[in-house]
Amino acid sequence: MYRTHTNGQLRAEHIGQEVTLAGWVQKSRDKGFIVWVDLRDRYGITQLVFDEERTPKEMMDKASKLGREFVIQVTGEVIERVSKNPKMETGDIEILVKKVTILNESLTPPFTIEDNTDGGEDLRMKYRYLDIRRNPVRENLIFRHKVSMAVRNYLSEKGFVDVETPYLIKSTPEGARDFVVPSRMNEGQFYALPQSPQTFKQLLMVGGLDKYFQIVKCFRDEDLRADRQPEFTQIDCEMAFIDQEDILNMFEGLTRHLLKEINGVEIGEFPRMQYDDAMKLYGNDKPDIRFDMKFGELNDVAQHKDFGVFNSAELVVGIAVPGGNKYTRKEIDHLIKWVKRPQVGALGMVYSRCNDDGSFKSSVDKFYDQDDLAKWAEVTGAKAGDLICILSGETNKVRAQMSALRMHLAEELGLRKADEFAPLWVIDFPLLELDEETGHYHAMHHPFTSPKPGQLEMLDAKPGEVKANAYDLVLNGNEIGGGSIRIHDKETQAIMLKHLGFTEKEARAQFGFLMDAFEYGAPPHGGLAFGLDRLVAILGGQETIRDFIAFPKNNSGRDVMIDAPAILDQEQLTELNLKIDLQEK
Ligand code: ASP
């Protein structure tokens, strides 16, 4: 037996017992006549003591040579500590060591294995196994385990069956590029790694499994915007013989269960918001509703005066910043600079101060009198002491800019509280989305999403207006899940693919298997997938998913620890019958 106890276990009641412990040397303090060593494992820290009076000389020598992160095993007696440490769970006792075995030595670690380490992100990722020894990282991984177990238990109890689907497949379009894998046995052919198990879970419904779930890796080769990973984990779910209401209720139940189980927070019914309203009121399809600052559209009350900037704008929109009148001129100038940064892209910002005496002072007083400004306050819901910020221009752009400003201000004002949870459903998404660059429509969710009943006919005349049976679950300004009711007949699927620009031949080549399956009695079905990494991070009160992934990749998609991706050696290329001929970009 390597150990009788863990390093987090021993208490005063164990005094007098002989125990064997194992773990890593956290630190040692060598006073010459006495050596203290903190021994660490996953469960905690126990203090070891070697002292001249009671410890044989050669063991004293050995003790003084124990370096940081040495792996040791000790046997000794649990004794009462002279100076107790109430901050440590094992702080009442220490171990008077009788035998010490060095199980493995360690080089000096490249950063300190402490809660607040001196190691930068790159270094920690290169030596991630050392990073994982640190409490915050280990705790995050255990937290993730708790969430995923709670998910498994809940869904299993509700009758969902956990089924694994293959990784070596053919493209499942979710709007990203595929990662591809060459096939040795089928020369010149490639598998695609799944962007999601979408088509397989639909086939499981055709197979009659009725309720499926899987906690599964998905692979998407896209430019890694902040806090994305090329491989990430979904809680992927599908149900048959359901309508949208059933799905929303089931997964609202799961989310509520998690918030209660993991965070001890009870949340009532989740609000539901139409996609169009979310865009109008928050400029965003994943609004953070922990705080207000809803958009007020000011076209009616701000246009047709002499202010050309507003008159020529498609949308004039304002938000009331609570208590914002306290901002100094300099601070407001800062905000204006902030919205003009290329990442936000506004041309400028108009503002109106709401003074305590009920008067207003705007940056466009030349064009607007007090009555006009009072109307702005009314539309944006501004009160005395607030600041109204106004942007104008082309609708979609202004909404995105204002949404960025709203989040920025909320962050500055401390309104994005990590321990507050505000979930909501955003429903009735458009079926198609116009790609401004190519002028083509693509599926806003994915090509298997069904249009709202009776709207299929509108696809030709007004493709942009067709609404889908699609929904997202939003938590604290993050999309944590999304899904849809699916198309389950061949004709509709064919029409959809045609509208997405697939020729009949292409549709057949890529999705023939699904269309064939639809000819054998496919039940009505639908589902959704949660992003597990993000969900765990939010429940854990943090923003970066990397902190909750054991071995994450960096922003260039590299694993700096194993140094991947890497080039293949010639032998492997020959086996695959591949020749590398890199093209100039
Ligand atoms: N496959 C979808 C996704 O990855 C989720 C779903 O529609 O169920 O976003």
Query: Which two three-digit tokens encode residue 449?
Result: 């999403």
**Looking at the predicted structure, is the pLDDT value of residue 4 above 80?**
yes
pLDDT at 227: 84
Average pLDDT over residues 25-52: 96
Distance 173 CA to ligand 1 centre (A): 10
Lowest mean pLDDT among 78-82, 171-175, 241-245, 425-429: 171-175
- Asked whether 194 lines ligand 1 (CB < 6 A), one says no
pLDDT attached to residue 438 = 87
CB 389 within 8 A of CB 321: yes
Dist CA 71 CA 26 (whole Å): 10
Q: Which phi and psi (to 5°) does residue 67 adopt? A: -95, 170
pLDDT band with cut points at 50, 70 and 90 for residue 223: confident
Q: What is the DSSP string of 490-512?
A: HHHHHHHHHHTT--HHHHHHHHH
Q: What pLDDT does residue 340 have?
A: 98
The CA 238 to ligand 1 mean position distance, Å, reads: 9
Supply the pLDDT for residue 328: 97
Cβ-based neighbours of 518, under 8 Å, separated by 6 or more: 206, 488, 489, 490, 493
Ligand 1 proximity of 198 Cβ (cutoff 6 Å): yes
Position 360 scores a pLDDT of: 98
The confidence score (pLDDT) of residue 105 equals 98
Identify the residue whose C-alpha is closest to ligand 1 atom 4: 196
Measure 529 CA to ligand 1 centroid, in angstroms: 5
Q: 10 Å Cβ neighbour count for 46?
A: 29
In sequence order, which residues have a C-beta less than 8 Å from that of residue 47 and are 6 or more positions away?
Answer: 36, 37, 38, 39, 81, 85, 88, 90, 93, 94, 95
Under the banding of pLDDT at 50, 70 and 90, the label for residue 435 is confident
- Does the C-beta of 197 come closer than 6 Å to ligand 1? no
191: which residues sit within 8 A by CB, 6+ positions away?
Answer: 168, 169, 170, 180, 181, 183
Q: Is 318 in the pocket of ligand 1 (CB under 6 A)?
A: no
The per-residue pLDDT of the chain, averaged, comes to 96
Give me the mean pLDDT over the 364-384 stretch.
Answer: 97
pLDDT surpasses 80 at 541: yes
- Span 85-111, average pLDDT: 97
Q: Are strands 360-362 and 190-192 parallel, antiparallel or unpaired?
A: unpaired
- List C-alpha distances in Å: 347 to 1, 53, 309, 321, 391: 70, 78, 10, 20, 8
Quick: pLDDT tens for 44-90: 999 999 999 999 999 999 999 999 999 999 999 999 999 999 999 99
Bridge-based pairing state of the strands 34-41 and 18-30:
antiparallel
Average pLDDT over residues 488-494: 94
The pLDDT value recorded for residue 460 is: 87
Nearest to 29 by CA among 19, 21, 39, 20: 39
Whether 530 contacts 473, CB under 8 Å? yes
470 Cβ below 6 A of ligand 1: no
| Phi, psi of 6, deg, nearest 5 | -95, 175
DSSP 226-249: TT--SEEEEEEEEEES--HHHHHH
Is the pLDDT score of 225 beyond 80? no
The per-residue pLDDT for range 316-367, each reduced to its tens digit, is: 999 999 999 999 999 999 999 999 999 999 999 999 999 999 999 999 999 9
528 lines ligand 1 (CB under 6 A): yes
Question: What would the mean pLDDT of 471-487 be, rounded to a whole number?
Answer: 97
Decide: 528 and 476 in contact? Cβ < 8 Å: no
For residues 532 and 151, what is the distance between their CA atoms, to the nearest angstrom?
A: 10
Instruction: Look at residue 410 in the predicted model and tell me its pLDDT.
Output: 97
Residues in the chain: 585
Q: What percent of the chain has pLDDT over 90?
A: 94
Q: Residue with structure tokens 């990973």?
A: 229
Mean pLDDT across the stretch 365-373?
A: 97
Say what the pLDDT of residue 415 is: 96
For the Cβ of 484 lying below 6 angstroms from any atom of ligand 1, the answer is yes
Evaluate if residue 128 carries a pLDDT over 80.
yes
Q: What is the pTM of this model?
A: 0.94
